[in-house]
Structure 1
Amino acid sequence: MEGLAPARFLTANEAEIARVLQICNACRYCEGFCAVFPAMTLRLEFTAADTHHLANLCHNCGACLHACQYASPHEFAVNVPRAMAKVRVETYRDHAWPAAFGRLYHRAGLTVALALAFGLSLFLALTVLVGGGLSHEARDANFYAVFPHGLLVAMFGTVFGFAVVALTIGVVRFWRGVSPAVGADVETLAAIATVRGPAVAEAAVDVATLRHLGGGHGEGCNEADDRFTLVRRRFHHLTAYGFLLCFASTVVATVLHYVFRLDAPYAWFSAPVILGTVGGIGLTIGPAGLLWLNVRRDPAQGDPDQRPMDRGFVVLLLAVAVTGLLLLGLRETRLMPLWLAAHLGTVTALFLTLPYGKFAHGAYRAAALLKHAVEKRLPRRFDLGAD
């Protein structure tokens, strides 16, 4: 296709995906397991863009590794989950914005996450102590008596806004690198336009339901052994929807504050408190379960070098949920200012690391699912590659 940049040589990790998928393309035993294998069959060769797309389409359910007759100790040593995991983190790094921050993907870990959360919490706690916040009457549960509303809006708005912009730019760069629409001719663009609506709907359902964590058979993932289980999918759902409910709580509180002029604190049975409580419970159970699965999971099912990044993100989510629930329970006590500092510190640490840690996989995977939903609807005469 005209207008496209010439294909580049594959990195070692990209070449490993190309190697194992050439074997998988000849075997096709796992064709019904997930979206990766149907997408694989549309290709005879694998460019760098193809490997990036397929790596982010992989949900790391583990079924293909346990079913593979060519996995170690076979001489072919096929390990699709590990090959995909190594390229996924390369994808995040290559498309990160600002580009220099791409190195953070290799430094994100449990120690860094905890140190950042503790450092920010300690700084805010010291601010409270210096300002005499502990002497303030806390029975009214007024957080803004400790930290002014304008200060919190400026601080978190800036951090959250940067995270959204950085992650959005990275995903757009990824999409442009793998999308068949880039540099396509008029006929291909017209074909894509006709399937875009249904493709968006399918991708949205796949993201919302985590369908591919159910495996092609609907019985779930393989964790520590060959037994299929849906537990990983359930913990992911609790985490994702717990996060969204907590975000919804913040949005509702913002509307109440600016539109209806109703200032916090809100009653126990108000919408912000109910949403935040239910979300916080989900965001406690989900990450705790994912951390438990991560510790128990077979190291062959992924890249062991990325476990610190995975655990750092999960622990930060768990810390945000726990400190938030404790803050709610202690908001009418004299301990409220310190718990507020701890909660704000962990939330800030989470937002700062969102674009450069495990959270990125959700956004990149959604884009890969959309590309897959588009390309499988196109007639086979169209060139689907981006290189």
Structure 2
Amino acid sequence: MQMQTDFLQEARRQAEICNACRYCEGYCSVFPALHAERAFSDGDLTQLANLCHNCRGCYYACQYTAPHEFDLNLPQALADVRQNSWEEMAFPRAAGKAFQKNGVLIAVATVIGFALLFWAARTLPSAGDEGFYAALSHNAMVAIFLPAFLFPLLSIAVSLRRYWRHIGAGPFRPAHLITAFRQAADMKNLKGGHGDGCNFEDEDRFTHARRAVHQAVMYGFLLCFASTSVATVMHYVFDMPAPYGLLSLPKLLGLSGGLLLVVGCAEMIRLKLQSDRSLGASAAFGGEVAFVGLLGFTGFSGLALYAFGQSTVMPTLLAIHLGAVLSFFLLTPFTKMAHGFYRLTALVAEAGRQK
């Protein structure tokens, strides 16, 4: 709790200086929201932190960074508040804090643990099914993944309700959600203040690389989710169970989504390793890399399963892939995957405040 208070006090100090300066007014959504206030409550600072994309453009343009006596580092100040808010509002809170401290270890351990469970579950009867279901029955998969899918939804719903109350957002309006979705789909705030991109990796180099990899990861995940959803409809509505052919809609969506995920996650990790850690929440670096690595590995193991699904290694690959998928879903509320939900909620709240 003391650390949370320290982060908020430092963010408040810097926000007050930025509010007086206003040099960065057009850089991103943070500054119009910041300049609309005269005093900053804890909820205001949490909202500003979740509007921030940590592009770092304001830091490199600022005349008050170290060695100036003001020693401004707004990207880091907001990153610390943002990370701490995710931990405090996570449901359950202890799980959020644990992942941020031991993200890599937890991600690896859960994938291995669940993979071993799926490997052991091969002994369950599969009723003569084909393809992947010959290794693990369809009913067993549903029994395992349905609760694993519902738990993150419940957890995130509780977390976002806490966030909405904490920032003092007004009544929810569907029109605000539409505005937020448009901004999120375009990733407007990663274009930079002048549309030249952001200088996340290098002070003197503006690129759209970070925006591109974020879009690759987001749309890759959505395509993979669409693949599963289409396969579910085909199975239950049209009585067309798997396995599906290479040119079927589930396979086309899954392959394109998996490729985008793997490439996007690999490039995102590269950009993170190149960037200056002192401009972000350095204590959360391991947890961020663990999440991106887990998401990328989930996509990679799915592609490997597609490639070798007819070989003798299929049962092993299936166990590994399902272990990765199950780990990803169960850990979603406590990893940086949750930041997409918080960011969207922050955009919805901001759209309401601008009306």
TM-score, normalised to structure 1, is 0.87
**Hey, what does 2:349 align to over in structure 1?**
371
Task: Give the alignment partner of residue 159 of structure 1, picking from 139, 148, 157.
Answer: 148
Task: Give the alignment partner of residue 179 of structure 2, picking from 202, 210, 218.
Answer: 202
> In 1, are the aligned partners of 2:83 and 2:281 still within 8 Å (CA)?
no
Aligned-partner Cα distance in 2 for 1:313–1:221: 23
**Hey, what does 1:68 align to over in structure 2?**
62
Q: Summarize the alignment of residues 22-41 of structure 1 with structure 2, pairs less than 5 Å apart.
A: 22-41=16-35
**Hey, what does 1:291 align to over in structure 2?**
269
Give the deviation of 1:360 after TM superposition.
1.0
Task: Give the alignment partner of residue 222 of structure 1, picking from 187, 190, 199.
Answer: 199
Give the deviation of 1:223 after TM superposition.
2.2
Aligned-partner Cα distance in 1 for 2:269–2:52: 20
Q: Which runs of 5+ in 1 are unaligned?
A: 1-9, 182-191, 378-387
Larger helix proportion, structure 1 or 2?
2
Deviations 1:62-114 (A, max 9, x none): 10111111111211110111111111122112212234434234334222212
Quick one: which amino acid aligns to residue 123 of structure 1? L
Give the deviation of 1:307 after TM superposition.
0.6
Aligned-partner Cα distance in 1 for 2:302–2:254: 8
Task: Give the alignment partner of residue 52 of structure 1, picking from 46, 55, 73.
Answer: 46
> In 2, are the aligned partners of 1:309 and 1:357 still within 8 Å (CA)?
yes
Aligned-partner Cα distance in 1 for 2:157–2:185: 19
Aligned-partner Cα distance in 1 for 2:120–2:44: 50
Task: Give the alignment partner of residue 108 of structure 2, picking from 104, 114, 117.
Answer: 114
Give the deviation of 1:374 after TM superposition.
1.4
Q: Tell me whether 107-116 or 22-31 shows the greater mean CA deviation.
A: 107-116
**Hey, what does 2:161 align to over in structure 1?**
172
> In 1, are the aligned partners of 2:121 and 2:136 still within 8 Å (CA)?
no
Percentage of pairs with the same residue = 41
> In 2, are the aligned partners of 1:108 and 1:357 still within 8 Å (CA)?
no
**Hey, what does 1:383 align to over in structure 2?**
none
Q: Which has the higher contact order (CA 8 A, sep 6+)?
A: 1
> In 2, are the aligned partners of 1:179 and 1:371 still within 8 Å (CA)?
no
Q: Summarize the alignment of residues 128-147 of structure 1 with structure 2, pairs less than 5 Å apart.
A: 128=122, 142-147=131-136
Deviations 1:264-298 (A, max 9, x none): 00011000000000000001111011010111111
Q: Which runs of 5+ in 2 are unaligned?
A: none
Q: Tell me whether 299-308 or 44-53 shows the greater mean CA deviation.
A: 299-308
Task: Give the alignment partner of residue 149 of structure 1, picking from 129, 138, 148.
Answer: 138
> The residue matched to 1:224 in structure 2 has which SS?
strand
> The residue matched to 2:201 in structure 1 has which SS?
coil
Aligned-partner Cα distance in 1 for 2:65–2:120: 54
